[in-house]
Structure formats: C-alpha cells, structure tokens
Amino acid sequence: MPRDEHLEGIYYIQGRDFVDAGVVSSEIKKRLKDKGITEDVIRKVAVITFEAEVNIISYADQGTIQLFIEPDAITVEATDIGPGIDDIELALQEGYSTADDSIREMGFGAGMGLANIKKFSDVFELTSEPGNGTCLKSVVRLDSE
C-alpha cells in the first residue's frame, strides 16, 4: 500500500507561537484515541509530538508534523525550516539546550526534547542541515508495549 494511504494528518506549526504550544500534540492524541490505539502507544506518541512541536515553535520559522497510522506502527515525521542543528550528537544529550532566556522563562528549553523523543521511539532518525532546517522521523511500534 502506498505510504500516502497511511497519512492520517498534516499539522502546520508557526515558529515562536508559544500560545498554541501543545495544540497539535493534543489533536494527535485525540485522533489516536478515536482510532482505538492503546494508551501506552498514545502516551509515547503524545510525548514525541509535543517535544517535536515545541522544538519547531522554539527554534524554527515554521514546520510540519505528519502522522502516519500503519498496521504495525505509528510514524511521526517533523520537518522544519529553521537554523538546523550544528551538532546532532551534542543536541541529543540530556540537558543540552540552545534555548534563549525568553524560551526558558516560559518553562521550555530544558534540553530534554530530543532525548525524550529518542527515548520513546522504537525507530529514531534525525537529520539536519545547518541553515536549512531539521527532519525528524519517529516510529512507535504498536506491539512495543
């Protein structure tokens, strides 16, 4: 079956729109619940999508999160147009953050986003081109409970 047949939704996110932080992940959580996905998988996907959403809002000009529901897995693909990540290995370390003071004052930017996404993913892929943006793919297997 072509991949597009598994596409459940495309969500657009505007950079620096902290007022709406969490809206996309809440919508995805509701959609998965309506589809009868188990609570454990929903929790993992909710953490992944929230962290990806906040990263786009915090660091990028704009981005998208695509949700794919496949027979054996949920796939989340987050792509942004932004500054990119200079050192992915460093960015994956718990507590590492490039957030500015304004982001930290709102309670974001603790440096756990990418580490949490990786922790809750069965498959985790992150690519970035400095100056052009970042692409993240996270897969949660439906039998990973």
Banded pLDDT at 4 (limits 50, 70, 90): confident
Is residue 144 over pLDDT 70?
no
The mean of the pLDDT values for the chain is: 95
Q: Where are the domains of the chain?
A: 3-141
**DSSP-assigned states of every residue in 6-62:** GEEEEEEEETT-GGGTTHHHHHHHHHHHHTT--HHHHHHHHHHHHHHHHHHHHH-SE
Query: What pLDDT score does 86 carry?
Result: 95
Average pLDDT value for residue range 82-86: 97
Banded pLDDT at 1 (limits 50, 70, 90): low
* 116-142 pLDDT, tens digit each: 999 999 999 999 999 999 999 999 999
Is residue 66 over pLDDT 70?
yes
* 31-48 pLDDT, tens digit each: 999 999 999 999 999 999
Containing 131, the helix (H) or strand (E) segment is none
Which ranges of 64-136 would DSSP assign to H, the alpha helix? 88-91, 101-105, 113-120
- Which residues, in sequence order, are CB contacts of 28 under 8 Å at separation 6+? 9, 11, 45, 46, 49, 65, 67, 76
How many of the other CB atoms lie within 10 Å of CB of 96? 15
Query: Does CATH place domain 3-141 in 3.40.50.720?
Result: no
Query: What pLDDT score does 2 carry?
Result: 63
Average pLDDT value for residue range 40-62: 98
Query: What pLDDT score does 5 carry?
Result: 87
How many of the other CB atoms lie within 10 Å of CB of 120? 19
pTM: 0.95
Task: Using alpha carbons, select from 105, 61, 94 the residue that is nearest to residue 79.
Answer: 61
Q: Are 75 and 138 in contact (CB under 8 A)?
A: yes
